[in-house]
Amino acid sequence: MSENYYKDRDYKNLDKINSLLYTLPDFCTEFARGIEQRTSNLTRLGYISDIKLFLGYLVDNISEFRGKQIKELSIEDLNTLTQTHIEMFLSYLKLYKQGTEYVSNGDCSISRKLSSIRCLLKYFFRKDKLDKNVAAKVDTPKIREKDIIRLDVDEVAKILNLSEDGYELNTKMQQEYHKNTKERDYAILSLFLGTGIRISELVGLDVNDIDFSQNAFNITRKGGKKTTLYFNEEVADALKMYIEHRSKIKNLPDDEKALFLSLQNKRIGVRTVQILVKKYAQIINPLKHITPHKLRSTFGTNLYRETNDIYVVATVLGHKDINVTRKHYAATSDDIKREALTKNVKLR
């Protein structure tokens, strides 16, 4: 597990926060400092980005704020906010123009931005700098339940086989590229499907994190908590094959500790991993939008079917709230119960 990787990522987020705060009113800096001890840099970056979008909407669209610069806004301006102003902003988020491009937000994204506004107004209301917290009266958008998309058992085998042999890759360029990446891609997909690792955790792995004596590795979860994940012999074989391939890479810097590398012999990026998963998944089933997170869901589903223990699944996936796990795997639970009843309950 690369401590430097996580520190660098944290520093980059902090730099982004400071750059945003430079363009925003002083009360935003006070807010960011006030919640610093109980939030991560990534969480604060999300809050500040959402708040900037909200303040920009106010000065561009609401008569009471129009004509002012965002930087000039004050706590007194926040005191003039109404419930209607916030509701109008939420409606605006569904589709708006940014430069020459249109931007749309789904219910989850709108709900998150409302949470950012609530957090800001609640903070200053508790400090007695606001007369009221109007955001508390705004209804949260109803989030429609979506079907959990995951790979079926046969699709798991197909995507692993495809990454290993590349027979169904469509173009000559893809096949040539595959010759240089097949060991890496096979190991990455095996790790997703065999451990439920998050994409950020995967790209942060170093070579010396892998312990084949225990078939385990340490990762840093959300919030900085460190934990150990274990893998089976199939995943171990994929990792050993890739690590052997990695050791033969020419011109690899001696100080490069990253386990998974790009073709530039640097730590692989999140975007590169997303693209490689999409490439293989679209060939296997073009009707399913499979992402690294969907591979994580596939692992969680298979683990739940094997153990029938929602607490084990929650622990392995690193869910802090068991209800999050239960929500995502409720359908699987129903399948297990249905199978148990139809097979085992006899009337005579």
Q: How confident is the model at residue 316 (pLDDT cuts 50, 70, 90)?
A: confident
How distant, in Å, are the alpha carbons of 61, 63, 293 from that of 66? 7, 5, 42
Q: Tens digit of pLDDT for each residue in 162-206? A: 999 888 877 788 888 888 899 999 999 999 999 999 999 999 999
Mean pLDDT value across residues 7-15? 89
Boundaries of CATH 1.10.150.130 in the chain? Answer: 3-137
Q: Output the CA torsion sign for 276, 279, 281, 284.
A: negative
Answer whether residue 329 shows pLDDT above 80: no
CA distance 16 to 280: 33
Q: Check residue 138 and give its pLDDT.
A: 93
- For 247, other C-beta atoms within 10 Å of its C-beta total 9
The first and second tokens of residue 278, run together, are 């999409």
Domain 153-344, classified CATH 1.10.274.10, yes or no = no
- The total number of residues written for the chain in this structure: 348
Amino acid letter for position 230: Y
CA distance 215 to 145: 37
Amino acid letter for position 287: L
Residues 6+ apart with CB under 8 A from 303: 196, 312, 313, 316
Domain 3-137, classified CATH 3.20.20.60, yes or no = no
CA distance 198 to 182: 21
Q: Tens digit of pLDDT for each residue in 128-171? A: 999 999 999 999 888 776 667 888 889 999 999 999 988 887 77
